[in-house]
Structures are given as C-alpha cells and as structure tokens.
Amino acid sequence: AVKAEHLRSHALKEAAEVRKGLLVAAIFGVSTAAQVYVGVKCISFRGEWERDAHVLTAQGVLFGVAVLLINVESWLLKRLVHALTAEVGFFVPEFHSHPLYFHPSVPNHKCDLCRNKTGQVYRCPLCDWDACPACFNKKDRSTGEGVLRGDKGVKSGGALTTSQYFRRGLKLALPQLPLFGVALLCVVTTSALRLFLPNFQGQIFDHVI
C-alpha cells in the first residue's frame, strides 16, 4: 500500500500546481499590460523630440528595449517559479538510477519489477520505468537496477569508463579470436572485390563490344 505521507505529499503537490498556474497567469497578465502601456506611450507621447530625427530614432529604440526587458523579466520570473516548485521525487540509487515520482492513478500499467498490473506507480519519466507501491516499499537491492547477480550474491555494477568497456570486450572476444580473424578477412576481401569488380566488368564489356 502507498504510504500516507506520499499521498499527502501528492495532494499538496496538486494544490501547489493550481496556485503555480494562477501565479504564472498573473505574470503573463502583468507582462501583457506593461507591453500594451509601452505601446500606447510610444504612439501617443508627444514632445520636442519630434523635431529631431536622431532623438526620434533613439526614443523608438528605447521603447523597443523596454518591451524586450519586460519579456525577459516575465520569462525569468516564470523560470524562477518553476525552479522553486519543482518536485524532488524519490531517489534511491540502488533501486533505480533516476528519481521516481508518485502517480496515484495510471491505468493499464505494469510494474517493471514484479510485472503485476497496478494503478498507483512510482514512475521515472526519463526511461518510462514503473514500480508498484509494494516493490517500492521493499526497495530490495537484489531486484533493483545497476547490480550484478551471481552465486555469491548481489554486487553493485558501478559506472564503467570507455577503456574498461573496451578491455572487457577484448577479454570476451579472446577465446574466439581465430573466428574473428576469418570474419575480418572475409569482410576485407568482399570490400576489395566490390571496389575492383566494376573495373573488370567494364573491361569485359569493352572486349565484347
């Protein structure tokens, strides 16, 4: 079953999403009103500057910069709101490599660990990975990701560098080295024949014609 604090946290998140939407809409409204005000001032403002073309150009540029800064400020405020209200999720490295987010109602989904159907999941949106509440509450390291399973138990796989992958690949291929050599020779021979065959075919056609 889902823990009560997770259900309360999700309910608070849903309420916060509504307030965040209202705040973003208010920011958009204020930004739009400010741009309309600048546009009205640009059209209706009159003064001695109209007699000088250079001042008129400078005034138009300044009004354009004001509109640009209003949009930048609105964008930064929206980014700040989203950053401050971002959901942290549940990060258990030995269980899954990305944070998991609780969803109370997801129809027709299966747990990627026990393969049972579930409507409530802890979901990873990055790799489309789901865990049911029962598996998530266990957090059994032996059923998680990123581990090596063997006769001696579970061992963490860890991150491998490119050189380590290459050395392990060579170690696996070493017993089959003669077979790899023959395969490589066949590939080189086939490529060479494809390269020179059109020339031989052209000479044959020349002799026949």
Which 8-state DSSP code applies to residue 155?
E
In percent, how much of the chain has pLDDT > 70?
A: 76
Average the pLDDT over 130-157 and give the result: 62
Number of H helices, E strands in the chain: 5, 7
Give the CA-trace dihedral at 53, 55, 57, 58, to 10 degrees.
170
Q: What is the pLDDT of residues 73-115, one digit of tens each?
A: 888 888 888 777 777 777 877 677 788 888 877 777 788 888 8
Average the pLDDT over 14-39 and give the result: 84
Average the pLDDT over 133-151 and give the result: 61
Give the tokens for residue 70.
Answer: 């209003």
pLDDT at position 150 over 70 = no
Q: What is the pLDDT of residues 171-205, one digit of tens each?
A: 887 888 888 888 889 999 888 877 777 776 666 66
In percent, how much of the chain has pLDDT > 90?
A: 2
Beta-carbon neighbour count of residue 41 at 10 Å? Answer: 11
Neighbouring residues of 91: CB distance < 8 A, sequence distance ≥ 6: 98, 99, 100
pLDDT, residue 140, reads 52
Q: What is the mean pLDDT of the chain?
A: 77
**More confident: 155 or 185:** 185
**More confident: 5 or 115:** 115
Q: What is the pLDDT of residues 38-60, one digit of tens each?
A: 888 777 776 666 666 777 777 77
pTM: 0.43
Helix (H, G, I), strand (E, B) or coil at 151: coil
Q: What is the DSSP string of 47-114?
A: SGGGG-HHHHHHHHHHHHHHHHHHHHHHHHHHHHHHHHT----B--TTT-SS-BEEES--TTEE-TTT
Listed residue (129, 107, 111, 128) closest to 119, CA to CA: 107
